[in-house]
Amino acid sequence: MLNKVERMHKQPPYAPFPRPEYEDRIRRLKEEMVAAKLDVIVMWGENNIRYFTGFLSNHFPPVTVCPAVLLVAVDKEPVMIVPNFFQGVVEGYTFINDIRCQHNPHVTANLRGLPKEVAEVVKELMGSSKGRVGIEGGIKGGMAIPRPMNDIDEFRAALSDVEFVYAADQIWNVRMIKSLLEVEALKLACEADVKAYHDLVANFEWGWTEKDVGLFVRKKLLEYADNCKPCLCMASRRQVFMADIPAWDEGIPLMPGDRLVLEPLPEVKGYWGSSGRTFHMGPAPEEELRRAQVLDRGRQVAAEMTKPGVSTGAIMDAINQTLEDGGLECSLDQGGHGVGIDGQEPPAIALGETFEVQESMVLAVECWMFDMDENGHYRVYGGEDYVHVTKDGCDPLPTFPTEIVSLGL
């Protein structure tokens, strides 16, 4: 049984963004809903709820309780459904006025019964048992509902007269366009990366392992940012090529002549920063420098092309052509993506994509090549940086200098 409660605190003392920002995000979502003829959108996903309301909880990974459901009706105020002990979290972080609390939310019968209660609120908001209801799903961005399938089956069964519509496009169309507050958070996160890289170059010592580098950078990021994910870190002496892994394995050595790929992932207000880089261990030979410069040029060309109206597939084609002109080839079918409170968001800069870049997006532009040397060691070249799309081009967010290519000099 859900209980509608009155706010005890009229204004949230810890809101991560001001009321005008909240109202603008909800307004733009409702405009998307009108265009798609949706009556209600129901969101269960952590980052969708966080984006539209500011709600934050450590309870999202477990499925032993449902930490929040957000319902946005096209013609009414948003509704949040939360366990009763999270009423204060809603009031502390969000401007939501219509709060519905679930009592005894850990009791299995209540947890499994929640989808039916959510369905009753959907009917209330529509004023009918019939309508068009948007849910988290669709082609763009791989959006999904992070609840057990049987819960969603129950939810849909309780709305048998409803037409369900995948609403990922409507949600992403709002989230892809970044406000100045969001851009500032992304900028600060990227600045944390740059500072940590400079610290690494200044303090690296021979004898460190891959894990030592990853832990050093992560500790530095926690000095400069709110939080960070485990650093993506891989040394060329790994016996198996293992992309995008945290540096947690013991004893992977770093020796002169090796290469190291590193991507620190700091967060500021939930927004991910990045500045992916590859380093040569010790002085880099001319051919290594040449390859690195070709990859840097590929990224530069991508940034120079990035402006409103350009398709992301065309940007990927330009990256491939630049590498081909330099006698190399891109090892990935992707040259970037959107960024935000998800580390990878739409649009994808990838082969054949027709999506057009829009003003106020923030995109990661990246360019990578994987190779194997005569000793069977995998060597990675390339990097990643962020750009903020403006009216007639793009501006780079803070980035680590590309001319610094070595550790241990």
pLDDT higher than 90, residue 333: yes
Tell me the two tokens of residue 224: 């400069």
Same-domain status, 209 and 135: no
CATH number of the domain within which 272 lies: 3.90.230.10
Tell me the two tokens of residue 112: 């499994």
The model's pLDDT over 119-162, given as tens digits with 9 standing for 90+, comes to 999 999 999 999 999 999 998 888 999 999 999 999 999 999 99
For residues 168-194, give the mean pLDDT. Answer: 98
Q: Which residue carries 């927004």 as its tokens? A: 271
Percentage above 90 pLDDT, the chain: 90
pLDDT higher than 80, residue 67: yes
Predicted pLDDT at 177: 98
Predicted pLDDT at 51: 98
Arithmetic mean of pLDDT over the chain: 95
**What is the spatial distance between Cα 294 and Cα 175, in angstroms, rounded to a whole number?**
33
Same-domain status, 122 and 192: no
The model's pLDDT over 285-319, given as tens digits with 9 standing for 90+, comes to 999 999 999 999 999 999 999 999 999 999 999 99
End residue of a domain, out of 175, 205, 220: 175
Spatial neighbors of 321 by CB under 8 A, at least 6 apart, are: none
Spatial neighbors of 263 by CB under 8 A, at least 6 apart, are: 231, 232, 233, 244, 274, 275, 276, 277, 384
Neighbouring-strand partners of residue 378: 372
**What is the spatial distance between Cα 136 and Cα 95, in angstroms, rounded to a whole number?**
22
Q: Domain range spanning residue 140?
A: 2-175
Same-domain status, 115 and 238: no
The dihedral over CA atoms of 74, 78, 81, 84, expressed in degrees to the nearest 10, equals -160
Question: Given pLDDT bands bounded at 50, 70 and 90, which one contains residue 349?
Answer: very high
pTM: 0.96
Same-domain status, 159 and 255: no
Q: What is the Rg, in whole angstroms, of the alpha carbon atoms belonging to the chain?
A: 23
pLDDT higher than 80, residue 62: no
Tell me the two tokens of residue 6: 């009155």
pLDDT higher than 80, residue 1: no
CATH number of the domain within which 28 lies: 3.40.350.10
End residue of a domain, out of 124, 159, 175: 175
For residues 251-263, give the mean pLDDT. Answer: 94
Phi, psi of 279 (to 5 degrees): -120, 145
Quote the number of domains for the chain: 2
The H-assigned helical ranges of 127-165 are: 149-157
Same-domain status, 337 and 219: yes
End residue of a domain, out of 175, 194, 214: 175
**CA dist 203 to 196, 199, 208, 246, 264, Å?**
10, 6, 11, 21, 16
Same-domain status, 144 and 195: no
pLDDT higher than 80, residue 42: yes
Strands 259-268 and 227-235: antiparallel
Please name the helix (run of DSSP H) or strand (run of DSSP E) that holds residue 232, with its range, or none: strand 227-235
**CA dist 160 to 116, 156, 248, 273, Å?**
12, 6, 48, 43
Q: Which residue carries 């990838």 as its tokens? A: 350
Same-domain status, 185 and 88: no
pLDDT higher than 90, residue 372: no
For residue 312, which amino acid is it? T
Same-domain status, 339 and 229: yes
Neighbouring-strand partners of residue 267: 227, 272
Percentage above 70 pLDDT, the chain: 100
Same-domain status, 246 and 389: yes
The model's pLDDT over 215-249, given as tens digits with 9 standing for 90+, comes to 999 999 999 999 999 999 999 998 888 888 888 88
Question: Given pLDDT bands bounded at 50, 70 and 90, which one contains residue 99?
Answer: very high
Same-domain status, 399 and 265: yes
Predicted pLDDT at 378: 83
Same-domain status, 346 and 277: yes
Same-domain status, 186 and 268: yes
